[in-house]
């Protein structure tokens, strides 16, 4: 009898497994006009003027439009504005498309643009986009489809700024009714929000009134949140996911060797940097910074920390091909241990010194990079201790400027002004390097004011040289934007800043 | 001299052997390791275990030798496990003994504190403490130690209470023996049995707790090797490089098993009721 | 007995208040704030914006004031809003409760189904090789780190569809078979270790019971061996197993945190980890309070069962 209990129990467990396995065959439906996208983080909220997380931006790519957007070559192209004029460097006139409808059926007109931009600029909204368009002084409605922006000071990067998800065009009545747009999505975008199950999935369905003819192609897009990159890859392989955003080098490497999936790589807009606290000794001595700049080997770091999935870069992200100068063409661009050691000795550290590198194992904390850097700096006698902290701690240290050096991932832009001004101007909002240099400031201000492309190019060329020479930080590389997609997916194109906008062109053949 | 009881128990012996093995590895690792556990080798990334390359357990995502890292992690695991258990035991027993012996309000207050600590699942409490204190090795010891306090407090209190009403204690009191004397000479020696078992249990759980914390990124930080953080970095590569996950895990299992075998054997010896039923 | 229950319930109140104090003040000791997390390293804010943000994130008032605000709202049933997403906290937690509950229950069931029969078997064959092997396997089960077992299961099942949750959770009421399939591996990861605990306790309590006088009497009276075991021993051995399950609820709850993380199940454990990560104080406070309360209640029920079974403890409390 006692033996029977045991056997019975075992049989029960086995039977359950069998039944469950059999039963799920029925669940495999194939709706070929559904695209399943695997991402590793849930969107925090959906209000375009408020959110900061990349994960939220990816949903906004499909739910809202801006005045202009970036195409797959990171060029500014029309979105809601079909054309524009710039009569002088303080005035911009946008002509809007006619007949564009919000998801609630109402037509989008000039007053919506005015409302949206003003909401962004309003301090009460506390929008991250405000700093991008701060110089806008007045917004005038010329007629129902024409908006005129007047700036208080020139901002050459304005058009680029207007492509940001944070400056999407939203309908006033929905904001006033709901308080904010975190949980609802009423935009003009190619997809509408159908269902959102927190930390699980988000279902978008096609907007039948979308203004681009013939798009979007797929009827439904489902976002699934799977925090494990390896599981995302496994999902694409097994067919439960069609497109997966994967940024882990090891997984991408593995997927690249796998014939059953397709790996798309594109140079990204984010910049991995090794940051100095320019106010702290010994990093207040430019020679020390230069010595380190001469020791860090970009290609080795890329191989070890990113499995080669990226491109070495200088101050302007290398994929902004109109502006960027390759790092090896800039001062201190090639590894030179002898010169580095000489500089250290000159600065008074012939035997090197010890210092901390703040980094984190999660998010953009760059622990892998830190470990490689630590290794490399041994060659010139420097001992780096890794101060590995948890992400919240990392941000705390960043905010308090409490670090010797730090590994950071910065959001770059294809327009040099937007990225470099805020990061390196002495009054820049994210200049946590505490770098204050009058020559840099002057060049940054010049680049912002000038409108002639040839002049601007000369200014930014000079700026890249100066920044490399003075090395307030070392610009290392731009990681690739990688997507692992099933071979049945057609039409998807990547954008360097990670945007998923071109999912509108994608379909799955099952 | 008669053979000590403990050696007669096969299970306890098995446990001792495993633990001894690890102690040996720990000592050896101070003098010799097959490779430098933190040395990166770009040409040897994620290599499968092979005799010819010398990487008996393969390499990780930085080309570091897995076996060397496991060996280096052994001392860390031991130190944390022993220190945390010692901390929790000392504080917990102190609290529990006084609570049990003195009774009344002091008992209430002490046990309320223990209850509050006890109302959190162990891992959650440890995570919480680590988040506050920061991810340093000594904080891991503190966090796990604090988690253990209520258990030791309860056990020692329970034993003291059960013993207090004993005849010979009352006899000693009526003979004029002081409180501390009774405590030291009559009570403490007799509560050792359940405590010893709890200690061996705590030693094993400490290793599991530390590896769980490191796994979640809140314990020992890379590049210092800990079995838990090795498993954590193995997560993203384990589907195509399973050795990075299998061996560190195995290291955890065998040491924890050693402590558990020892604890079990001790329980067998110290609890006469279970010795033989037939 | 009734007085004892009331006493214990009353003693819960200071404990829960203590928990709420600890949670509230200690979470704010963790370096970094929700506002900082929100702004990250990329956001610039003008002083006017910063003021507004501080107000939104509750950083413009002293902490004790915030505490009393929070407690006041709590007593009215308002658990506040997430700092990160702005959504009300309680519905979010409640929506995740079923998932954690499912995970815990399935793990428990698996553990009982595997553990009890093996434990009984082992006790009847004490000191034989079979018993020895069983005990070793049981100890191995105890020694397995859950996340390692989970990792092995993921490696093993990675090529098949449907066994590993992929952001496609459906409640059991909607699609029971998909649901069960998805929970099987995670429950196994937790349940396997717990099965070992159950097995050992079953074995030990069976051994104790079989030594008891009344069982010996029954055997001496000539009752058939099997009947004796089944009717008397098993019945009396089950209670300690139930209580040890209760005492180990922490193991199950704690295990669920890691397993939810590894298998990406949207349960309460993952929410707690996320809240700590993001310094989302209202969510963190609420969730720790909920988990601690559940835990304390389970412990209380277990203690009560234990006291009901063992009079010594009750008497002692009445000193």
pLDDT tens by residue, C102-143: 888 889 889 888 888 888 888 777 777 878 788 888 888 888
Place of tokens 């030798």: B65
Question: Quick check: C277 and A52 CB within 8 A?
Answer: no
Low-confidence ranges of chain C (pLDDT < 50): 313-319
- Are residues C89 and C80 in contact, defined by beta-carbon separation less than 8 angstroms? yes
Please classify residue A143 by burial: count the beta carbons closer than 10 Å to its beta carbon, then call 0-12 exposed, 13-18 middle and 19+ buried. Answer: exposed
Tell me if chain B has a CB within 8 Å of the CB of A233. Answer: yes
Residue reference for tokens 């162990």: B122
Residue with tokens 């891992």: B123
The fraction of chain A above a pLDDT of 70, given in percent, is: 94
Torsion angles phi and psi, residue A296, rounded to 5: -70, 125
pLDDT band at B142 (very low <50, low <70, confident <90, very high): very high
* pLDDT tens-place string over residues A406-446: 999 988 888 899 889 989 998 888 899 999 999 999 999 99
What pLDDT was estimated at residue C198? 85
The answer to whether B216 contacts chain A (CB < 8 Å) is no
Average pLDDT, chain C: 79
User: For position B20, what pLDDT does the model report?
Assistant: 93
pLDDT at A29: 43
The residue with greater pLDDT, B5 or A315, is: A315
pLDDT at position B70, please? Answer: 93
Q: How does residue A150 score in pLDDT terms, banded at 50, 70 and 90? A: very high
- B32 touches A at CB < 8 Å: no
pLDDT at B4 over 70: no
pLDDT band at B276 (very low <50, low <70, confident <90, very high): very low
Q: Is the pLDDT of residue A404 over 90?
A: yes
Instruction: Compare CB distances from B253 to C140, C257, C312 and report the shortest one's residue.
Output: C140
Q: How would residue B241 be classed by pLDDT, with cut points 50, 70 and 90?
A: confident
Please give, one letter per residue, the 3-state secondary structure of C241-291.
HHHHHHHCHHHHHHHHHHHHHHHCCCCHHHHHHHHHHHCCHHHHHHHHHHH
pLDDT band at B186 (very low <50, low <70, confident <90, very high): low
Kindly list the residues from chain C whose CB atom is less than 8 angstroms away from the CB atom of residue B127: 257, 273, 276
Other C-beta atoms within 10 Å of B32: how many? 8
Q: Average of pLDDT values for A385-398?
A: 86
How crowded is residue A453: how many other Cβ atoms within 10 Å of its Cβ? 10
Lowest mean pLDDT among A89-98, B25-34, C235-244, C293-302: C235-244
B16 touching A (Cβ < 8 Å)? no
Q: How far apart are the CA of A330 and the nearest CA of chain C, in angstroms?
A: 26
Over range B83-99, report the average pLDDT. 91
pLDDT single digits (tens) A251-282: 888 889 889 999 999 989 999 999 999 999 89
Q: Is pLDDT above 80 for B176?
A: no
pLDDT at A128: 86
pLDDT score of B223 more than 90:
no
- Residue A465: its pLDDT value, please? 94
By the CB < 8 Å criterion, does B48 face chain A?
A: no
Q: Which one, of A104, A69, A248, lies nearest residue A185 by Cα? A: A104
Count helices and strands in chain C by DSSP H and E runs:
15, 0
ipTM of this complex prediction, to 2 decimal places:
0.77
C213 vs B93: CA distance, rounded Å? 35
**C22 at B interface, C-beta within 8 A:** yes
Average pLDDT over all residues of chain A: 88
pLDDT at A147 > cutoff 90: yes
**Chain A CB contacts of B223 below 8 Å:** 371, 374, 386
Q: How confident is the model at residue B195 (pLDDT cuts 50, 70, 90)?
A: confident
Percent of chain C at pLDDT > 70 equals 84
Phi, psi of A3, rounded to the nearest 5 degrees = -65, -35
Interchain CB distance below 8 Å, A367 and B236: no
Q: For residue B277, what pLDDT is reported?
A: 38
Q: What is the pLDDT of residue C203?
A: 82
What residues of chain B, 211 to 240, have a C-beta less than 8 Å from chain C?
211-212, 215-216, 228, 231, 234-235, 238-239
B259 close to B23: Cβ distance less than 8 angstroms: no
Q: Do C46 and A430 touch (CB under 8 A)?
A: no
CA–CA separation, A498 and A317 (whole Å): 14
Assess whether the previous peptide bond of A216 is cis (omega < 30° from 0).
yes
Q: What is the pLDDT of residue A283?
A: 94
| Residue A353 scores a pLDDT above 80 | yes
User: Torsions phi, psi of C225, nearest 5?
Assistant: -55, -50
- CA torsion, points C125, C127, C128, C130, in degrees to nearest 10? 70
Q: pTM of this prediction?
A: 0.81
Q: What is the pLDDT of residue C318?
A: 43
For residue A397, pLDDT over 70 is answered with: yes
Q: Over 80: is that where the pLDDT of A320 sits?
A: yes
Cβ–Cβ below 8 Å for B276 and C127: yes
Q: Please report the pLDDT score of residue C319 as a whole number.
A: 37
């Amino acid at each position: 009898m006692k033996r029977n209990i045991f056997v019975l129990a075992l049989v029960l467990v086995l039977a359950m497994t069998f039944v469950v396995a059999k039963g799920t065959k029925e669940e495999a439906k194939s709706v070929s006009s559904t695209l399943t996208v695997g991402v590793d983080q849930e969107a925090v909220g959906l209000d375009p003027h408020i959110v900061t997380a990349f994960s939220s931006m990816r949903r906004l790519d499909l739910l809202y439009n801006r005045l202009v957007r970036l195409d797959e070559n990171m060029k500014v192209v029309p979105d809601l504005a079909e054309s524009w004029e710039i009569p002088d460097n303080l005035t911009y006139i946008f002509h809007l498309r006619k007949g564009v409808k919000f998801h609630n059926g109402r037509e989008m007109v000039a007053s919506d643009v005015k409302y949206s931009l003003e909401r962004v600029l309003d301090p009460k909204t506390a929008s991250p986009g405000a700093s991008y368009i701060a110089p806008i002084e007045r917004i005038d409605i010329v007629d129902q489809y024409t908006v005129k922006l007047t700036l208080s000071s020139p901002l050459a990067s304005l058009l680029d700024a207007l492509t940001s998800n944070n400056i999407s065009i939203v309908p006033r009545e929905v904001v006033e009714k709901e308080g904010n747009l975190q949980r609802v999505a009423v935009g003009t975008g190619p997809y509408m929000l159908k269902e959102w199950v927190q930390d699980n999935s988000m279902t978008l369905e096609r907007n039948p009134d979308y203004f681009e003819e013939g798009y979007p192609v797929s009827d439904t897009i489902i976002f699934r949140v799977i925090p494990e990159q390896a599981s995302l890859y496994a999902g694409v392989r097994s067919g439960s996911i069609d497109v997966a955003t994967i940024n882990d080098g090891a997984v991408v490497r593995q997927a690249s060797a796998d014939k059953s999936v397709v790996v798309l790589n594109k140079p990204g807009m984010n910049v991995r940097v090794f940051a100095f606290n320019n106010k702290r000794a010994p990093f207040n001595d430019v020679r020390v910074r230069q010595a380190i700049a001469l020791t860090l080997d970009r290609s080795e770091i890329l191989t070890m920390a990113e499995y080669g999935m990226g491109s070495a870069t200088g101050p302007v992200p290398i994929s902004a091909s109109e502006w960027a100068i390759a790092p090896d063409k800039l001062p201190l661009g090639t590894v030179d241990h002898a010169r580095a050691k000489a500089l250290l000795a000159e600065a008074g550290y012939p035997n090197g010194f010890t210092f901390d590198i703040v980094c984190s194992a999660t998010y953009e904390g760059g622990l892998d990079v830190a470990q490689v850097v630590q290794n490399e700096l041994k060659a010139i006698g420097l001992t780096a201790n890794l101060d590995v902290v948890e992400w919240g701690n990392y941000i705390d240290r960043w905010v308090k400027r409490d670090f010797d050096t730090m590994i950071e991932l910065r959001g770059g832009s294809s327009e040099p002004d937007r990225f470099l001004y805020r990061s390196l101007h002495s009054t820049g909002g994210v200049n946590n390097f505490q770098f204050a240099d009058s020559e840099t400031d002057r060049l940054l201000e010049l680049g912002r004011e000038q409108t002639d492309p040839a002049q601007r190019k000369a200014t930014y060329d000079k700026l890249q040289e100066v920044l490399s020479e003075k090395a307030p930080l070392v610009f290392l590389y731009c990681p690739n934007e990688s997507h692992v997609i099933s071979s049945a997916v057609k039409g998807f194109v990547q954008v360097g800043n990670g945007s998923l906008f071109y999912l509108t062109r994608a379909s799955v053949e099952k | 001299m008669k053979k000590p009881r403990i050696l007669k128990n096969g299970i306890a012996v098995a446990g001792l052997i495993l633990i001894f093995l690890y102690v040996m590895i720990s000592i050896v690792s101070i003098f010799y390791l097959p490779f430098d556990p933190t040395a990166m080798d770009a040409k040897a990334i994620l290599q499968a275990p092979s005799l010819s390359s010398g990487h008996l357990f393969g390499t990780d995502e930085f080309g570091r030798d897995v076996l060397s890292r496991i060996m280096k992690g052994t001392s860390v695991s031991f130190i944390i496990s022993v220190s945390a258990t010692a901390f929790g035991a000392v504080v917990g027993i102190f609290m529990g003994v006084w609570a049990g012996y003195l009774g009344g309000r002091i008992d209430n207050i002490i046990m309320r504190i223990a209850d509050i600590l006890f109302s959190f699942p162990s891992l959650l409490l440890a995570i919480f403490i680590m988040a506050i204190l920061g991810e340093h090795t000594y904080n891991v010891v503190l966090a796990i130690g604090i988690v253990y306090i209520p258990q030791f407090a309860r056990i020692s209190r329970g034993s003291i209470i059960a013993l207090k009403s004993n005849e010979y204690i009352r006899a000693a009191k009526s003979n004029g023996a002081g409180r501390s004397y009774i405590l030291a000479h009559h009570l403490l020696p007799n509560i050792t049995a359940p405590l010893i078992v709890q200690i061996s249990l705590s030693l094993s759980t400490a290793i599991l707790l530390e590896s769980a914390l490191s796994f979640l990124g809140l314990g020992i930080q890379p590049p210092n090797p800990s079995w838990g953080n090795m498993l954590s970095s193995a997560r993203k590569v384990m589907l195509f490089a399973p050795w990075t996950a299998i061996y560190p895990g195995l290291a955890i299992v065998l040491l924890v098993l050693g402590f558990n075998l020892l604890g079990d054997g001790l329980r067998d010896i110290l609890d006469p009721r279970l010795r033989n039923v037939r | 007995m009734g007085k004892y229950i009331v006493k214990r319930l009353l003693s819960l109140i200071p404990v829960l208040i203590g928990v709420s104090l600890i949670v509230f003040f200690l979470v704010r000791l963790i370096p970094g704030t929700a506002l900082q997390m929100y702004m990250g390293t990329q956001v610039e804010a003008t002083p006017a914006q910063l003021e507004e943000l501080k107000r939104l994130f509750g950083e413009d008032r002293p902490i004790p004031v915030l505490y009393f605000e929070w407690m006041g709202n709590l007593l009215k049933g308002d658990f506040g809003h997430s700092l990160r997403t702005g959504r009300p906290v309680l519905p979010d937690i409640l929506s995740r409760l079923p998932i954690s509950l499912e995970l815990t229950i399935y793990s428990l069931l698996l553990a009982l189904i595997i553990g009890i029969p093996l434990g009984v078997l082992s006790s009847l064959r004490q000191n034989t090789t079979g018993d020895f092997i069983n005990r070793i396997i049981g100890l191995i089960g105890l020694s397995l780190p859950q996340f390692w077992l989970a990792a092995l299961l993921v490696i093993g099942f990675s090529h098949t569809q449907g066994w590993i949750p992929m952001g496609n959770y459906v409640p059991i009421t909607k699609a029971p078979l998909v649901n069960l399939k998805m929970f099987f591996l995670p429950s196994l990861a937790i349940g396997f270790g717990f099965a070992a605990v159950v097995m050992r306790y079953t074995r030990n309590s069976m051994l104790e019971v079989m030594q008891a006088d009344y069982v010996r009497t029954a055997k001496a009276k000539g009752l058939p061996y099997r009947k004796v075991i089944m009717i008397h021993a098993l019945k009396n051995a089950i209670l300690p197993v139930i209580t040890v399950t209760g005492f180990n609820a922490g193991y199950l709850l704690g295990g669920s945190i890691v397993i939810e993380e590894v298998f990406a199940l949207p349960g309460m454990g993952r929410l707690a980890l996320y809240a700590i990560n993001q310094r989302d104080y209202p969510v963190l406070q609420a969730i720790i309070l909920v988990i601690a309360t559940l835990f304390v209640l389970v412990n209380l029920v277990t203690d009560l069962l234990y006291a009901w079974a063992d009079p010594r403890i009750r008497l002692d409390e009445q000193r």
